[in-house]
């Protein structure tokens, strides 16, 4: 009898945007107390894309280091989870496939279910590898969380993409069975096709998140999952990082355990360090939490952790992963910290200009100024077709000549979006 090999996360990394808006800067113009952001929702800054950055450029930027390390010949499937897709028909992953130079004999699919989509992609990827342990699957999760100006959700915006390589005998974590599942039709957060920003019922969304956590935990438990005391830490989906603390408090009560600050912080604090400065990245959020935990703690080998994935509307899953003994050698801690530290700080006025700017929809040829510091960029649109290209670092102050990457948190007062249409 053949023993099925362990399957799970072989590599994990993420990318974010070139720009950052601090919550201190946001508070100065909204009149909010900065403590409301730092302590109330657990956020300190928001990643903001330049006009030539989108989910494709971020996902390709996250995927490139994985291809560089592991090669492309064993990748048979690319799954891209996103809720901010760029086309109603064509999968965004096909653009990434081209940018990364993947082989032609690869299936590419886009998945959507709010913030849960990446976990669906991860489970599908694991199932594919179990059918053929010689293949690998590249899972991408990328989103730009964008809410109406002056709305309650504005402080929880953000942008990032995670790249996850799924393989047999993984270097980082084995994905375990069973998992707990839950679906309920509820209108807590949704975005009709005719809107560029979502509609949100904040209280209902938090309540539904906690309801889904209870239900997935009970399903996981009923199917023979590990008890809570066997889990070293739990990564939660983080629309804002205080949600992770609220969720773990809820789970402790659900399991009959008295919640204490020590227990809650011990389980979730290390998972919040990337999301608190990047903001909400929807599908990527849970996996930024996992990256933060792994980068923070190199003593997790052979430990089992929990992961709770929630997507509004709603679908949720509670799963566990066993961290592999040699995982520190596979981490990309320095690259993650560099991506965050080298973002260029922008003013509130620049942020508002970027927020209202939109790509042209007239079908004419439009070039987009080079502003990203990332390795790929959206170069322009022609005949309603998006054109991407490899990029070299350029200064936001220049739309032509290359210049060195700016120092961390340098302020930028230019939007550089003069070729873009703005909402009235």
Residue 422 binned pLDDT confidence (cut-offs 50, 70, 90): very low
For residues 295 and 331, give the distance between their C-alpha atoms in angstroms, rounded to a whole number.
Answer: 7
Catalytic residue flag (residue 220): no
Residues 6+ apart with CB under 8 A from 201: 187, 188, 189
Report the percentage of the chain scoring pLDDT > 90: 91
> Is residue 253 classed as helix, strand or coil in its secondary structure?
helix
Beta bridge partners of 167: 8
Whether residue 408 has pLDDT greater than 70: no
List of domains in the chain:
7-341 (3.40.47.10)
Average pLDDT estimate for 144-171: 97
Catalytic residue flag (residue 169): no
The number of angstroms, rounded, from the C-alpha of 399 to the middle of its chain's C-alpha atoms is 28
Kindly name the residue from 23, 97, 110, 115 that is annotated as catalytic. Answer: 115
Over the stretch 352-379, which tens digit does the pLDDT of each residue have?
A: 999 999 999 999 999 999 999 999 999 9
Over the stretch 184-203, which tens digit does the pLDDT of each residue have?
A: 999 999 999 999 999 999 99
Query: What is the pLDDT, as a whole number, of residue 300?
Result: 98
Whether residue 394 has pLDDT greater than 70: no
Whether residue 398 has pLDDT greater than 50: no
Catalytic residue flag (residue 237): yes
Whether residue 68 has pLDDT greater than 50: yes
For residues 251 and 112, give the distance between their C-alpha atoms in angstroms, rounded to a whole number.
Answer: 27
- The reply to whether omega before 6 is within 30° of 0 (cis) is no
Query: What is the pLDDT, as a whole number, of residue 392?
Result: 74
Query: What is the pLDDT, as a whole number, of residue 187?
Result: 98
Kindly name the residue from 25, 83, 276, 317 that is annotated as catalytic. Answer: 83
59-89 b/e (C-beta count within 10 Å ≥ 16 → b): bbbbbbbbbeebebeebbbbbbbbbbbbeee
For residues 80 and 96, give the distance between their C-alpha atoms in angstroms, rounded to a whole number.
Answer: 9
Whether residue 121 has pLDDT greater than 50: yes
For residues 54 and 322, give the distance between their C-alpha atoms in angstroms, rounded to a whole number.
Answer: 33
Q: What sign does the CA torsion over 18, 110, 180, 229 have?
A: negative
Residue 401 binned pLDDT confidence (cut-offs 50, 70, 90): very low
- The reply to whether omega before 268 is within 30° of 0 (cis) is no
Kindly name the residue from 237, 249, 336, 355 that is annotated as catalytic. Answer: 237
DSSP 284-315: GHHHHHHHHHHHH-S--TT-EEEEEEEETTTE
The answer to whether 176 and 319 are in contact (CB under 8 A) is yes
Helix axes 261-268, 242-254, angle to 10 degrees: 120
Q: Where does residue 251 fall: left (phi above 0), alpha (psi -120 to 50 degrees), or beta otherwise? A: alpha
C-alpha pair distances (Å), 290 with each of 132, 186, 237, 268: 26, 27, 10, 10
Whether residue 290 has pLDDT greater than 80: yes
């Amino acid at each position: 009898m053949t023993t099925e090999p362990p399957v799970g996360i072989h590599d994990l990394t993420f990318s974010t945007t070139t720009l950052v808006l601090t919550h201190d800067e946001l508070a100065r113009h909204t009149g909010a107390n900065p403590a409301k952001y730092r302590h109330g929702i657990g956020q300190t800054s928001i990643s903001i894309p330049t006009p030539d950055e989108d989910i494709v450029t971020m996902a390709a930027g996250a995927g490139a280091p994985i291809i560089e390390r592991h090669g492309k010949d064993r990748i048979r499937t690319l799954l891209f989870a996103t809720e901010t897709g760029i086309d109603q028909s064509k999968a965004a992953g096909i653009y990434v496939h081209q940018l990364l130079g993947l082989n032609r004999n690869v299936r590419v699919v886009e998945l959507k279910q709010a913030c849960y989509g990446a976990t669906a992609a991860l489970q599908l990827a694991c199932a594919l590898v179990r059918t053929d342990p010689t293949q690998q699957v590249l899972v991408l999760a990328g989103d730009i969380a964008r809410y109406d100006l002056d709305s309650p959700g504005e402080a929880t915006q953000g942008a990032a993409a995670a790249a996850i390589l799924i393989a047999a005998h993984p270097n980082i974590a084995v994905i375990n069975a069973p998992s707990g599942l839950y679906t309920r039709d509820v209108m807590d957060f949704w975005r009709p096709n005719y809107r560029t920003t979502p509609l949100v019922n904040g209280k209902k969304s938090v309540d539904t998140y906690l309801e889904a956590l209870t239900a997935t935990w009970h399903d996981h438990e009923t199917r023979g999952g590990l008890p809570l005391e066997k889990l070293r830490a739990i990564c939660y989906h983080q629309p804002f990082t205080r949600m992770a603390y609220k969720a773990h408090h809820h789970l402790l009560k659900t399991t009959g355990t008295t919640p204490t600050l020590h227990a809650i912080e011990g389980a979730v604090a290390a998972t919040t360090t990337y999301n608190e400065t990047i903001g909400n990245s929807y599908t990527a959020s849970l996996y930024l939490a996992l990256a933060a935990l792994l980068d923070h703690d190199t003593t997790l080998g052979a430990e089992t952790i929990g992961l709770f994935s929630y997507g509004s509307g709603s679908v949720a899953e509670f799963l566990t992963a066993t961290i592999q003994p040699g995982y520190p050698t596979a981490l990309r801690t320095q690259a993650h910290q560099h991506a965050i530290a080298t973002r260029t700080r922008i003013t509130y006025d620049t942020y508002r200009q970027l927020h209202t700017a939109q790509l042209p929809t007239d079908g004419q040829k439009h070039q987009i100024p080079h502003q990203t510091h990332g390795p790929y960029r959206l170069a322009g649109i022609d005949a309603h077709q998006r054109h991407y290209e490899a990029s070299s670092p350029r200064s936001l102050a220049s739309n032509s000549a290359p210049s060195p990457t700016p120092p961390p948190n340098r302020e930028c007062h230019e939007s550089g979006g003069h070729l873009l249409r703005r909402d009235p």
